[in-house]
Amino acid sequence: MATHEVSAPSPALGPPRLTEEDQARSADRRRVHQARRQHRRWRLLWLLAGPGILAMLGENDGPSMIAYASDGAQYGLGFFVPFIPVMFLMAYVVQEMSMRVGAVTHRGYGELVLQRYGRIWGWFGAGDLILTNLVTLVAEFVAIRVGLAYFHLGSGVAVALGLALVLFTLSGGRYWRWERIVLGLAAFNGLFLLAAILVKPHLGSVASSLDFSPFPGGGLNTLLLLLASTIGATVTPWMIFFQQSASADKGMTPQDVAHGRYDTAAGAALAALFGIGALIAGAALLTHHGSGIEGFAGAGFPEALRRVSGGAAGTVFALGLIEAGAVAILTISASTAYAAGECVGAAHSFNSSPRSAAVFHAANVGVAMLAAAVILIPGAPLLSIALNANVLATVLLPVSMVFLVMLANDRRLMGRWVNRGSTNVVAIAVVCFVAICGAAYGIDSFLQAVHVLRA
């Protein structure tokens, strides 16, 4: 492969021959070094921000925002207003490890698991990722379709918009360009906060919900579904693959770990804030008992909001759904592309041209096209796919997290950047919590489906 036809750089042999990927990354790093030398702190933060915010706001995707809004419409604000930030704290713990491993090793999650622990574990991880990503991407196209339906546009437009964005962001052949375009789009996740303001919530009721009460009613299965889908709305396998690979692709180094933490923390805070925005907007429908929402069908939530809170709230929510689906299509396709390139040992960077990183670019476009094709199938069970996307991600997440914790504790890879003891305690608690919630919902639902338990 062209990108690999260079000798290993050695100071003794003079400057190494640079591949196109090296050259692009070198240009990005030059600006970082300049900013650091000149003590331009805000510029440095601007240059190093990206993977963390994109992972977190990418996970504030269509299904997640509809899940938050549904929670608000069915149960009100209580419990969820404090619960969402707790979930994003959990996401921060996971994503910080992911960023740190990427910055220290300069390698993606998929290739490290495959090379360090063997092909079986590497391919299992990639298989989990492709399954959950494909299901989630279908749900993203459905979310865009729901948003567009508000403006009387159909599935064909949703497919064209999603695929055009993937092709447009890939066209520059630079990681930096891709990242900045997606960051620009992700800023519009703030529309959910605007939607919350437009429904004119009672601030007292928002403040009084901070004590985790009232606890959502309903049966055990409902509670487990809420937990599993909310976890799936905040941490998923693709985020782990994405942030580690994107941190390496961006050229982050151990010197940048502190800024990587700011980036991840900012992403978590913004995602929690905008998620609560969707919850508050959805809660405007509570007094109507969630009637007319229709979930992922028709114009769903935006149309229901328009009837209750006015046209502006409905329009902003619809635009928010289009943005949430579009950004997630870009980040989830990217995580699939990184995993595909890493697992087959091919070039995997936005800084490589389609010719030298054919697998990476083909996987990026191919997975989006496959998901787009599903939503065009007449009678496809899109509603069920969208509702189960987060739950499936939660069920498959523990394995990815265990390997991430193992990598972050691998002293030969990480040197002095290994996990602290306190990080391990929190990370293991998170793994156990996710595994228990996912398994409890899976087992309980299964027993109901086979009529061993009464629904």
Partner 1 sequence: MSEEPVIMSEEPVIHHLERDQFVAQTSLPVPPVVLGARARAALWALRVFVVVVSVMVLYTFIDQLQ
Q: Which is nearer to partner 1, 209 or 400 (CB)?
A: 400
Work out how close the CB of 12 gets to partner 1 at its nearest, in angstroms, rounded to a whole number. Answer: 11
Site string for partner 1, 321-350 (x = CB under 8 A): ------------------------x-x---
What torsion do the CA atoms of 49, 137, 113, 234 make, to the nearest 10 degrees? 60
Residue 64 engages partner 1 in binding (rule: CB under 8 A): no
Considering the complex, what minimum distance in angstroms separates the CB of residue 388 from partner 1? 5
Q: Closest approach of Cβ 16 to partner 1, in Å?
A: 6
The site string for partner 1 over 369-398 (x = CB under 8 A, - otherwise) reads ------------x--x---x--xx--xx-x
Task: Restricting to residues 122-151, name those near partner 1 by CB under 8 A.
Answer: 124, 128
Using the minimum distance from each CB to partner 1, give the nearer residue, 65 or 407: 407
Q: At its nearest, how many Å lie between partner 1 and the CB of residue 196?
A: 31
The answer to whether 254 and 417 have CB atoms below 8 angstroms apart is yes
Picking from 375, 374, 345, the residue whose alpha carbon sits closest to that of residue 358 is 345
Residue closer to partner 1, measured from CB, 227 or 391? 391
Q: Is residue 24 within the footprint of partner 1 (CB under 8 A)? A: no
- Segment interacting with partner 1 (CB under 8 A) among 50-58, 98-106, 158-166, 313-321: 98-106
CB atoms closer than 10 angstroms to residue 110: 26
Q: How far apart are the first and last CA of the chain?
A: 56
Handedness of CA 257, 176, 184, 231 (dihedral sign): negative
Our CB check for partner 1 shows the closer of 1 and 187 to be 1
CB of 439 to partner 1, least distance (A): 5
Tokens describing residue 117: 């622990």
Burial of 32 (0-12, 13-18, 19+ CB in 10 A): buried
Alpha-carbon separation of residue 344 from 121, 156, 337, 341, 452 (angstroms): 14, 33, 11, 6, 44
Q: Residue 43, interface with partner 1 (CB under 8 A)?
A: no
| Minimal distance, residue 367 CB to partner 1, in Å | 19
Among residues 264 and 445, whose Cβ is nearest to partner 1? Answer: 445
What residues from 410 to 449 belong to the interface with partner 1 (CB under 8 A)?
A: 410-415, 417, 435, 438-439, 441-443, 445-446, 448-449
Q: Cα(212)–Cα(75) distance, rounded to whole angstroms?
A: 12
Stretch of 4-12, 136-144, 159-167, 188-196 contacting partner 1, by CB under 8 A: 4-12
State the nearest-atom distance from the C-beta of 377 to partner 1, in Å: 14
Told to check if 256 binds partner 1 by CB under 8 A, we report no
Structure tokens at 401: 């997290």
Measured from the CB atom, the residue of 123 and 262 that comes closer to partner 1 is: 123
Q: State the virtual CA torsion across 198, 202, 204, 209 in degrees, nearest 10.
A: -80
9 binds partner 1, rule: CB under 8 A? yes
Name the minimum Å distance from CB 159 to partner 1: 23
By the 8 A CB rule, do 197 and 303 touch? Answer: no
Element (H, E) at 328: helix 311-344
Fill in the amino acid letter for 329: I
SS3 89: helix
Cis bond before residue 15 (omega within 30° of 0) = no
Report if residue 121 touches partner 1, rule: CB under 8 A: yes
- What are the distances in angstroms from CA 306 to CA 33, 99, 151, 281, 318? 50, 40, 12, 11, 10
Q: Which of residues 291-320 bind partner 1 (CB under 8 A)?
A: none
- Please give the Cα distance from 62 to 52 (Å, whole number): 19
Q: Which helix (H) or strand (E) holds 106?
A: none
Burial of 175 (0-12, 13-18, 19+ CB in 10 A): buried
Task: Tell me the angle at which helices 20-37 and 237-250 cross, rounded to the nearest 10 degrees.
Answer: 80
| Binding of residue 354 to partner 1 (CB under 8 A) | no
Q: How far is the CB of 425 from partner 1 (least distance, A)?
A: 18
Binding-site member from 15, 204, 378, 421 for partner 1 (CB under 8 A): 15
Residue ranges in contact with partner 1 by CB under 8 A:
3-4, 6-9, 11, 15-16, 18-19, 21-22, 25-27, 29-30, 32-33, 104-107, 111-112, 115-118, 121, 124, 128, 248, 251, 253-254, 345, 347, 381, 384, 388, 391-392, 395-396, 398-399, 402, 410-415, 417, 435, 438-439, 441-443, 445-446, 448-449
